[in-house]
Copies of this chain bind each other. A is one copy, B any other.
C-alpha cells in the first residue's frame, strides 16, 4: 500500500512523529515546538550549571568528576545545531509562552557575539571544573555573566 508515494513503514513513521509531537504540550501555539525545545535547552543548561553552582556554594561537596561531567554536558549541549529553534518572529509577541524579545533578531543586535561569549565561558569552565574548587568558582562568574548578558538584553523583564 502506498499513499502519496509513501509506503506503510513511512506512514507508521509519520504516525510516530505525531506521537512525538503530542508529547509537547505547547505544540499547537505559534512556534510552540521551537519554544518548547529552546526552553528545554535552557532547562538542560540550568540543571548542569546547578551542579556546578551547588559545589561553588558549598551545598554539595566538590566532586571533580561530577563537575567535569556537568561542564562537558554544557559544551556538548552548546555544540548542538540549534539554528532551527530560533526562527525570526518566534518571540514573546507571537506566543506569550516565549520570553524572547524581538530585539534579538534585529540587525546589529549582537546576539551572535553574546552566543560566542557564552561558548567561551563554557570552554573555560570545561578547563576549570575538574581541576579544583577554586578554579570552578573562578569560572562560574564569567559563565553566569554570559547567561545574564543575554537574558538582560533579550528576555522579557521578570
Interface of A is mostly: helix
Rounded to whole angstroms, the CA-CA distance of A97 and B26 in the bound complex is 11
A interface residue numbers (CB < 8 A to B): 4-10, 12-17, 19-25, 27, 33-34, 36-51, 53, 56-58, 69, 72-73, 76-77, 79-81, 84-85, 97, 99, 137-138, 140-148, 151, 155, 158
Residues of chain B lying within 8 A (CB to CB) of residue A76? 76, 79-81
Residues of chain B lying within 8 A (CB to CB) of residue A81? 69, 72-73, 76
Q: What 7 pairs across the A-B complex have the smallest Cβ distances?
A: A40-B40, A9-B141, A13-B144, A16-B144, A37-B43, A16-B148, A13-B140
A13-B143 contact in complex given A4-B58, A24-B39, A40-B38, C-beta closer than 8 Å:
yes
